[in-house]
A and B are shown apart, each in its own frame.
Chain A
Amino acid sequence: MKPYVSFEQISQVFSRPDGSSLMALKDVSFDIGRHEFVAVVGPSGCGKSTLLRLLSGLLRPTRGQVTLFGQPVTEPRDEVGIVFQKPTLLPWLNALENVVFPVRHKTGRVSRADYERARELIEMVGLGDFCDRMPGELSGGMQQRLGIARALLLDPEVLLMDEPFSALDALSREEMGFELLRIWNERPKTVLFITHSITEAVLLSDRVLVMSERPGTLVENIEIDLPRPRTAASIQEERFHEYSSQIRDLIYRPHYAA
């Protein structure tokens, strides 16, 4: 049987405006199982976000193949939802309209059932009382919750998250992490989570993929064997620290080895 999501020997080359080319990914292969939470960490510019865009179908690989449910990804699909680094809500729409926006944008009209589903999602991300508020009136954390609700509207099987909490302050960031785990528990999804925070990666995921500097290659694939549900107490556990320092070593060692 084919894996749920599979990256098969992916290489990605971008051409720069000046004509030279840039190798972002080199020979990256990995699989993701159904409802698995996989985090990708690595230094800036290692092609983490490229992985996500390949799976979303917004980008075609230079070499290799990405498959979803056993079929090659050739174009964007409804089964994939994206949460961006910035919430990028539309400032002229209130919270509810922002969350139903994907339906309006895709089909041109929004049914009562769509609004109903959007309300449920807003309730689930804890903003039930804020449906009428404009994005400008909400904090960054609240905006990103709406961003998550928006990504869940079409009930995707796969959720792609591109450093979704990196624009938040440290406290809201941790809170949002637990919030995400709660949502994931309520509505299990296959998650590909890009981050540059090692703690975040270990805390949230079943598996952490560690990437090297450009051209990005897969350095290590670490199963995080910590009991769920994860809580603030998980961070205190000894194994948590072991995983964190193992990943930190993998990322920094190349610099200090020579």
Chain B
Amino acid sequence: MNTQVKSETLSTDRTMPPEHSLRSSVALLLSRQAPLLTLLSFLLAWEFGCRLGAVPEYLLPAPSVILAAFTDVEAVRWLGHLWSTLRVALLGFLISIAVSLPLAVGMVRSRYLSRTLYPALVVIQSTPIVAVAPLIIVILGTGDAPRILITCLISFFPIVVAATTGMMSTPPELIELSRSLKARPSREIWQIRLPYAVPHLFSGFKVAITLSIIGAVVAEFVAAEQGLGYFVQFSTSYFKIPQAFAGLFFLSAVSLVLFKLVQFVQKRLFPWSLSEPKQH
């Protein structure tokens, strides 16, 4: 769509008087900035809706009120909460990767493992983490360890699935090539299957990183004295609704940044994985 508008601009630039080119550059701007403009108009509608309808702050605070609540909290406190949540989410995410990859390799290599492990993993995945979290806190105490465990439990599954699917989607010819060379099985994993799984893996990572934030927040809801999730919960229980909203938006922003970060890492380290190779 972008390119269509662009080419239109180019052609009108050459043949049409200036006012037409102005109109089409407005159209170009509109189409390029569509997501931002939509967000802005949504916020504006929200702001005026709240003001005109005189919606009470404790039900739905206007964006300006939320922004004021955000700046009311000192930066140092925000950073403290941010660090607490981020630490748990990122450690949980990294440990998930460290656990999931060997699991996936094991399941690809051994039929026995995949038949015994997979059902167990599905059971873990289908147990509501919110219901298990209090138990984990009771058993492991209130430090970082139980929170990281909760985060891992929620974020490892997409990585395992992505890694196994990716490794299984390796073209059979390459596996035959590997066998015909009598290469060590570990090389088949490292040099063929795992790299082949990279595009799948990163889809898994993108899901897992946002789940990690959810895991960290769930853990904070159960027991914590720091963290963005804790901040939202505590603000709500004191009826500081604008402040709760501010925490919520901050959380979403963190989630979004982490998601983009995963995308960035993929683009920098594995640029080839972003486009499917053509085999014909």
Contact = CB atoms under 8 A, between A and B. Distances in A.
Interface stretch (B3-11, B21-29, B33-41, B176-184): B176-184
B176 A82 contact: yes
Given A84-B173, A102-B177, A105-B191, 18 more contacts: A56-B180, A58-B176, A58-B179, A76-B179, A76-B182, A84-B176, A86-B171, A86-B279, A86-B280, A88-B171, A88-B177, A88-B279, A90-B192, A91-B273, A104-B191, A136-B278, A140-B279, A140-B280
Contacts of B270: 92
A59 to B, nearest CB: 10
B195 A90 contact: yes
Nearest to B178: A105
B198 to A, nearest CB: 7
A89 B180 contact: no
B119 interface: no
Q: Which 10 A-B pairs have the closest CB atoms?
A: A91-B277, A84-B173, A76-B180, A88-B173, A136-B277, A140-B280, A106-B181, A105-B183, A92-B272, A88-B171
A211 to B, nearest CB: 21
Contacts of B276: 136
Contacts of A135: 277
Contacts of A105: 177-178, 181, 183, 187, 191-192
Interface string A37-72: 000000000000000010011100000000000000
B195 A92 contact: yes
B126 interface: no
Contacts of A92: 195, 198, 270, 272-273
A82 B180 contact: yes
Contacts of B273: 91-92
Contacts of B178: 105
A143 B279 CA distance: 8
Contacts of A101: 191
A102 B178 CA distance: 8
Contacts, number: 73
B180 A58 contact: yes
A164 to B, nearest CB: 11
B116 interface: no
Interface string B166-202: 0000010110111111110001000110011010000
A106 B272 contact: no
Task: Give the size category of A's interface with B.
Answer: 20 to 34
A80 interface: yes
Contacts of A75: 182
Residue in A80, A82, A91, A106 whose Cβ sees the most chain B Cβ within 10 Å? A91
A82 B177 contact: yes
Contacts of A57: 180
Contacts of B2: none
A92 B192 CA distance: 10
Interface in A101-147: 101-102, 104-106, 108, 134-136, 140, 143
Interface in B22-69: none
Residue in B178, B182, B196, B279 whose Cβ sees the most chain A Cβ within 10 Å? B279
Residue in B179, B196, B272, B273 whose Cβ sees the most chain A Cβ within 10 Å? B272
A216 interface: no
Residue in B187, B191, B272, B277 whose Cβ sees the most chain A Cβ within 10 Å? B277
Nearest to B279: A86
Given A56-B180, A76-B181, A106-B182, A90 B280 contact: no
A143 B273 CA distance: 18
20 contacts: A56-B176, A57-B180, A58-B176, A58-B179, A58-B180, A82-B176, A84-B177, A86-B171, A90-B174, A90-B196, A91-B272, A92-B195, A105-B177, A105-B178, A106-B182, A134-B272, A136-B272, A140-B278, A140-B280, A167-B279
Contacts of A143: 279
A76 B179 CA distance: 7
A235 B196 CA distance: 42
A17 B43 CA distance: 59
